[in-house]
Amino acid sequence: MTSRTDVLISEVGPRDGLQSVAAVMPTAAKRAWIDALHAAGLREIEVGSFVPARLLPQMADVAEVVRHALGLPGWTVMALVPNTRGAEAALAAGVHKLTLPVSASQAHSLANVRKTREQMVDEVRAVVRLRDQSAPGVKVEAAISTAFGCTLQGAVAEDEVIRLAEQLTQAGADETGLSDTTGMANPAQVRRLFTRLRAAIGAHAGAAHLHNTRGLGLANCLAAYDVGVRTFDASLGGLGGCPYAPGASGNVVTEDLVFMFEAMGVRTGIDLARLMAARDALRAGLPGEAIYGMTPEAGLPKGFVPASALGR
């Protein structure tokens, strides 16, 4: 496998995936799963969220999981934090990157973090200030959730999404990406909104976090790639969905996304065989939980050579 890559696949299963299931994966199983993801060549992983255990018991061991992930070389360990208290705990644990969820939908913002959009912009500003004082090397990402529509509010105006992205950049966020939290996006909308995002905030434009709720996940990823996006969130086995957005389900399947890019000649740096083997660790940690993916079910085409194996 070549070490050169054309896109970054950011694995969010240990956070976004695990928060959406009722079962709690044992800590040892999380460590084994993370080891398998690292062995497959993933180089950015969202290992959990620093939230009260009474709200998300699936994340009660997040600090221990971070410590384990930090022991594996050559990748970015990130965690979701909803506020400065979570950021303090995450920075103390040693994460490389913080992600804050900032919803474009006022209704979803209140349901998800119990704050308005404006209050969350202030929260990002406070987290950036905390980062600057205590851990200046840590990146801060603001992920705009419900950017393509909301099951609580309905349509979300694109002008409001772009205005929010500009405010977050002004607040000091290193990256601001767009999330299709409720799986309502279509390729034309993705192309248009990411084009506007890149025009508005330039190099601060971040990841595409897209869901496959209505079967358009890969098509939407390709639309984002076509307009210059090079970082994509995905979840092994397609686990994921926001518990505060009714009807939201199904992140883009990491295995399918990697196969699509590698078949196109776009290097991910990820070993597909090892990536699909990582499903065994996921199944062992969540026995009986449904996981998804067309590529693992169909297998790789005969004679298939991934772009990352060719190098250039």
| Residue 279 falls inside a structural domain | yes
pTM for the whole structure:
0.95
Predicted local distance difference test score (pLDDT) of residue 278: 98
Residue 30 placed within a domain: yes
Q: Could you report the per-residue pLDDT of 225-243, keeping only the tens digit for each?
A: 999 999 999 999 999 865 5
Residue positions annotated with a catalytic role: 242
**Do the beta carbons of residue 58 and residue 19 sit within 8 Å?**
yes
198 burial via Cβ count (<10 Å: 0-12, 13-18, 19+): middle
Residue 1 falls within a domain, yes or no? no
In 3-state terms, what secondary structure has residue 262?
Answer: helix
Examine residue 148 and state whether it is found in any structural domain, yes or no. yes
Within-domain flag for 291: yes
Reference 173, options 209, 207, 150; nearest CA is 207
CA dist., res. 237 & res. 253, Å (int): 6
Residue percentage of the chain with pLDDT more than 90: 86
- pLDDT-derived band of residue 147, with 50, 70 and 90 as boundaries? very high
Q: Structural domain of residue 292, as residue ranges?
A: 8-310
Of 56, 52, 54, the C-alpha closest to 14 is 56
Whether pLDDT at 312 is above 80? no
Report if residue 131 sits inside a domain.
yes
Average pLDDT over residues 207-223: 96
CA nearest neighbour of 280 among 237, 251, 250? 237
- In this structure, the chain runs to a length of 312
What's the rounded Cα separation, in Å, for the pair 306 and 255?
A: 13
pLDDT tens digits for 57-109?
999 999 999 999 999 999 999 999 999 999 999 999 999 999 999 999 988 88
Judge whether residue 287 has pLDDT over 70.
yes
Residue burial 70-82, b: 16+ Cβ < 10 Å; e: rest: eeeeebbbbbbbb
State the CATH number of the domain containing residue 132. Answer: 3.20.20.70
Query: Is 118 a member of any domain?
Result: yes
Phi and psi torsions of 29, nearest 5°: -70, -35
Residue 111, pLDDT score: 79
Domain count of the fold of the chain:
1
